[in-house]
Amino acid sequence: MQKEAPALAYKAAGAEGNQPTLALNQKVYMILREALLSGAFEPGSMLKLRPLAAQLKISPMPVREALSSLRSEGAVEALPNRTFRVPILSANSYREVILLRLRVESCACEKAAVLATSQDVKRVSDLYEEMLSIGETCIEEYLAVHRRFHFAIYEIAQMPILSSVVEGLWLRIGPLLRASTRSRTKEDHVHHGAMTKALKASDPQALVAALQEDLTDGVEPILAYLEQQRAEMGQKKRGRTR
């Protein structure tokens, strides 16, 4: 059974709100990019032009252009019949992304802990409290706030090149966050609480340690998920050849 893309209405409002002067294709690109970063799509989700265009109440052409741009970033893959799909990472690719995330996001956290102002700490704390209040009631909303929480910390580091690298990694791994977070919000709360506490204390080592625990704690569940997805794909291919 093919995985269909979820509704994008709430994403559209969030992505367009601060970009009123963007051209339509740029707005659509930002909406879909934010959806991928925030885990709105599961790995293997089919991104069909007309259904997406209907959700966004636009013609298919801007959707095609946006997805083509995301394809060039490695965030989606093109299929026949004008369809795109969210890739399913191999286990080795996933391990590579995690290794890179550990390096670059740790660097951002180390700098952020030193530079954070009281306003920065309040913003991060508010996002943490928002995640707690959402809990498991709505996975889409939770993951959207989860992304803002992490990137709010990385933005404090004032390292725009590093931030762009982090975004590129999240484009590849965002869909896996959706697949792995449903049953792990309690563990997430522990790690994010430790990150918030370390930021308040201006403690770079504690913030880096909490981040690394957050990232590595989800490795085994995601590897198990990827193995399951590959097995299912193998069964489908064997079924088609019979």
Which of 19-28, 212-221, 231-240 is predicted most confidently?
Answer: 212-221
CATH of domain 3-85: 1.10.10.10
Q: How far apart are CA 180 and CA 221, in angstroms?
A: 7
Going by CATH, does the domain composed of 91-227 fall within 1.20.120.530? yes
42 alpha carbon, distance to own chain's centre: 10
Helical spans, DSSP H, in 46-117: 49-56, 60-72, 91-115
Q: Is it the case that residue 179 has pLDDT exceeding 90?
A: no
Query: What is the reported pLDDT for 177?
Result: 86
**Rounded (5°) CA angle 29-35-194:** 130
**Lowest-pLDDT range, 82-86, 150-154, 179-183?**
179-183
Backbone angles phi, psi at 9, to 5 degrees: -60, -45
Beta strand pairing status for 3-4 and 45-48? parallel
Region label for 67, one of left (φ > 0), alpha (ψ between -120 and 50) or beta (otherwise): alpha
Q: How many residues does the chain have?
A: 242
Q: Where are the domains of the chain?
A: 3-85, 91-227
**Rounded (5°) CA angle 29-11-20:** 60
The model's pTM? 0.86
Nearest to 215 by CA among 238, 239, 242, 184: 184
